[in-house]
Amino acid sequence: MRLIALALAVMTVFTCFGGNNASDSVKVFFRIGQYEYDPAFGNNRQAMDSFMDILSKANSENNIESIEIRAYTSPDGSSKGNQRLSELRCNAIADYIAAHLPIKPSLLHKVPEGIAWNGLRELVEKTPEVPSRNAVLNILDNTPVWIFDRRGKVIGGRKSQLMSLDKGIPYRWMLTNLFPQLRNGVVISIILRDSKGECEQNTDYEDSENQKIIENKKHLELDKRPEINEGEESVQSSQISSPAEPTPLPGITEKSSRKDSNFAMKTNMLGYAVLMPNLEIEWMFTRRWSLALEGQGAWWAKNSTHKVYRLATLIPEVRFWPIERSRWHGMYVGLFGGPGTYDLDRGNGKKGHEGEGGMVGASVGYMWPISKHLSLEAGVGVGYLRVRDKEYAPLDGHFLYQQTKNINYFGPLRLKLSLVWRIPK
């Protein structure tokens, strides 16, 4: 058999599947965002008629081995939506052919490719003006469509890395200048029999996409997985873990408070009202001085609505107890400071923010007993907070970097109503 490849590119005004003359390719057009084939649109009727004449002749000679229809889209939009659009355009071309020629349905082989990553790679290679071009090529060559953690959860991928590269500048440039050339592409190949029952490829036409398909079946299956918030920098769980519990020192009952334990563990009950678990440990290393370390964090996300609420802080504090009714009980004043990080997205198409920063401040509080080993602490802290905030705008189920700004704040930073467990002997 000999393989005669005739390419039919179904595109917008810009096309990346061009570059072949009328003798070995035919082009028709789809309206942007549509999947119905319209013969009256542009030069579609004349182009399709020429192609159908060749197909009709091959069919009358019973010489068709198969007809392959491949459809492509650009990376903008969701992967799931692009896959579905390419399926519908494959169906539209197949239905048109079947309606005008007595073609056996078994001869029509539809391959909806979805996003034309190989076509984008070829365009970037041919376009020196692409910002950060070498880095873009590296991502296209070496980053899979999806990246998974050990539990099979999507944590990133090719598109998210392109969108986060160099503050989103290369992606926005390609969105305007290259993506229109990738939209609505369909390639049709006719495989004909020869008298010997063997096939060979006609090298007069070699479609660039068919030459460069590098995605294996695994990547095609992964591309059907739902979209995520890529480009996000996740707060690691280790940042919100509690400090290790030290070995308690010998202690006795409250009646002999000076010999009570030197360690206490606390949790701020107000934190749970805003879905922020927390844990604090305090060491009373002298009669009137203590050292505390508080860790708190939230790690909530709803992928279906792209709502993300992630926040983590680690705050050490040194305290002086000027009014001491008994060990651990009385008034204290303190100095605190520490780092924090956050990733906040309210969903519903609203902008997202992520960043990191630090705080310093002063605190005052009071602790009183409620049982043999339990106490209650109330306190407040004020000070200075500085944050480097990155703003992201939602786009196609992802977040595209917009700007970075510094936020400076002076005022209340901490409010505590903590349950305290004085670690017994």
What pLDDT shows up at residue 209? 43
Q: What value does the mean pLDDT take over residues 186-208?
A: 52
- SS3 for 16? coil
What pLDDT shows up at residue 187? 65
Structure tokens at 106: 């078994």
* CA 175/CA 173 separation, integer angstroms: 5
- Work out whether strand 108-115 and strand 25-29 pair parallel, antiparallel, or are unpaired: unpaired
Of 281, 305, 301, which Cα lies nearest the Cα of 342? 301
What superfamily in CATH does domain 2-222 come from?
OmpA-like domain (3.30.1330.60)
* CA 316/CA 291 separation, integer angstroms: 7
> Residue 213, CB half-sphere, CA atoms under 13 Å: how many?
17
Inter-CA distances, 197 with 50, 65, 106, 237, 379, Å: 27, 10, 19, 62, 88
Structure tokens at 403: 């700007």
Q: Are 400 and 377 in contact (CB under 8 A)?
A: no
What pLDDT shows up at residue 183? 67
- Percent of the chain exceeding pLDDT 70 equals 74
Most confident option among 10-24, 328-342, 392-406: 328-342
Q: Rg of the chain over CA atoms, in angstroms?
A: 32
What pLDDT shows up at residue 20? 34
Question: pLDDT of 150-173, one tens digit each?
Answer: 888 888 889 889 988 988 899 999
What pLDDT shows up at residue 28? 66
* Region for residue 240 given its phi and psi (left: phi exceeds 0; alpha: psi -120 to 50; beta: otherwise): alpha
Grade residue 17 by pLDDT with cuts at 50, 70 and 90.
Answer: very low
The overall pTM is greater than 0.95: no
Grade residue 65 by pLDDT with cuts at 50, 70 and 90.
Answer: confident
Average pLDDT of the chain, as a whole number = 77
What pLDDT shows up at residue 214? 40
- Strands, E assignment, 12-107: 25-29, 64-73
Grade residue 63 by pLDDT with cuts at 50, 70 and 90.
Answer: confident
Structure tokens at 367: 């602790």
* CA 267/CA 347 separation, integer angstroms: 30
Q: What value does the mean pLDDT take over residues 202-227?
A: 40
What pLDDT shows up at residue 361? 97
What pLDDT shows up at residue 380? 97
What pLDDT shows up at residue 32? 67
Task: Examine domains 2-222 and 237-422 and report if their fold is the same.
Answer: no
What pLDDT shows up at residue 185? 58
Grade residue 208 by pLDDT with cuts at 50, 70 and 90.
Answer: very low
What pLDDT shows up at residue 351? 87
**pLDDT top residue among 46 and 330:** 330
Domain layout of the chain by residue ranges: 2-222, 237-422
Q: Fill in the amino acid letter for 255.
A: K
* CA 297/CA 97 separation, integer angstroms: 60
What pLDDT shows up at residue 338? 96
- Work out whether strand 7-11 and strand 25-29 pair parallel, antiparallel, or are unpaired: parallel
Q: What value does the mean pLDDT take over residues 118-131?
A: 91
- SS3 for 32? coil
Of 16, 63, 12, which Cα lies nearest the Cα of 41? 12
Phi, psi of 337 (to 5 degrees): 180, 155
Whether the per-residue pLDDT at 404 is higher than 60: the answer is: yes
Question: pLDDT of 243-300, one tens digit each?
Answer: 333 333 333 333 434 446 789 999 999 999 989 999 999 999 998 999 999 999 988 8
**Topology (CATH level 3) of domain 237-422:** Porin (2.40.160)
- SS3 for 386? strand
Q: Fill in the amino acid letter for 391.
A: E
Q: Fill in the amino acid letter for 317.
A: E
What pLDDT shows up at residue 184? 62
